[in-house]
Structure 1
């Protein structure tokens, strides 16, 4: 099972300690801060798989942190669960409209929160839940590092494997070349944008078996690439 990276933004020391203990017991890597501004920096430096975000934190409100995370390229699609003592419907709606994926009102059970986090990750990042990634007739065994299409093993190079894994974790999402560089090669990479196109072509050739299978990678003009059944070479 892949180890999930969590960014916890919570200024209640006792609650933060309790949550860190529970999530580390579930094998999460937890990075904690009490400060909204620092949370944005930490998210940019090492993109988390999920963010637990308190509504009221230092320097920036949780709502503003959520809004900015949704606007930044590297974190626009990272799942966010807001933690708050605000239980009014208007507050919940505001949090969800700002971009939160879920909303947990204090006080809450840590076990329930662990379950909610697991549910969100299974929905948006199934590899982190230890499941085989599938799309159409493509299957990826992330542990055994094998890919099959229609039951036949598809040999892939390391970069093409990472690229396909990223697409399988986000089916239907359109990714620009810049986003793919950040997510697949890393933010510190000095790879040129056109290199992404080269690896996309290699990936297409491999998983489409030189045209024997339908193309499942769609080119979106002026936007990037997406994994869906309306792919076009």
Structure 2
């Protein structure tokens, strides 16, 4: 049974979602979102499989700040629920690491479908040694990659980039961020080295089905390992 942390201050919405999800055998914890510290404390204590997060919370609590803190703590999937459904708002949410974005008003059945989709494409790790994204398997201990049962040859420099992206699926990173995170501040290869590495990785992962995922270029923003 999957655990869902629901951060929502509107009682009618929270009650409806909680009842609907519990009927579908999810375990739901509800947080009214009144204090930022309480939300993070509950997240750390309860260790949910997924977070449903409203952006517009009481007492000037900022849902985007909560999203950023959750992202710093790990890769737990986060679905944003909000009345702010404009394209810029959605793009900003995805840029900061949201896995999905649902505008109010919504149908609970749609929320359930989105939750199921996000959980299906979440990163599965075993003792922090393996990442599985559909048929793509990354063995962290041996630094090997396979699609299904077929091994994939990846250069060591490219492997580190792939592992980082796979540990942060559906998040967007610009070249500078990837250079710093993957190769370090003292790397002197230039930001175009990221483009070259991405190009090689795409070639290596040609056998990974497109309906499972791909390395996507987000124009003007950077790269993302999208999983579907």
Considering the TM-score relative to the shorter chain, is it more than 0.5?
A: yes
How many angstroms does 1:166 deviate by? Answer: 6.0
User: TM-score, length-normalised on structure 2?
Assistant: 0.56
Structure 2 gaps, min length 5? 145-149, 167-203, 205-228
Aligned to 1:99: 97
Distance 1:41 1:21 in 2: 24
CA RMSD of aligned residues (A): 3.9
Query: In the alignment, what sits opposite 1:83?
Result: 81
Question: Where does residue 43 of structure 2 map in the other structure?
Answer: 43
Question: Following superposition of structure 1 onto structure 2, how do residues 48-197 of structure 1 map, counting pairs within 5 Å?
Answer: 48-59=48-59, 60-72=61-73, 75=74, 77-124=75-122, 162-163=126-127, 167-168=131-132
Length-normalised TM-score, structure 1: 0.55
- In 1: Cα distance, 2:55 partner to 2:138 partner: 28
**1:107 and 1:118, CA in 2 relative to 1: closer, same or farther beyond 3 A?**
same
Alpha-carbon distance in 2 for matches of 1:57, 1:110: 20
Q: List, as ranges, runs of 4+ consecutive aligned residues in structure 1 with deviation greater than 3 Å.
A: 164-175, 213-216
- What do the CA deviations read for 1:137-185 (whole angstroms, capped 9, x no partner)? xxxxxxxxxxxxxxxxxxxxxxxxx53896447966797xxxxxxxxxx
Residue aligned with 1:113, SS: helix
- Per the alignment, do residues 169 and 41 of structure 1 end up closer, same or farther by CA in structure 2, a change over 3 Å counting? farther
CA distance in 2, matches of 1:83, 1:28: 18
CA distance in 2, matches of 1:27, 1:33: 19
TM-superposed deviation, 1:46: 2.5
Q: Structure 1's 71 and 18: CA in aligned 2 closer, same or farther, altered over 3 A? A: same
- Unmatched 5+ residue regions in structure 1? 128-161, 176-199, 205-212
Q: Match for residue 217 of structure 2?
A: none
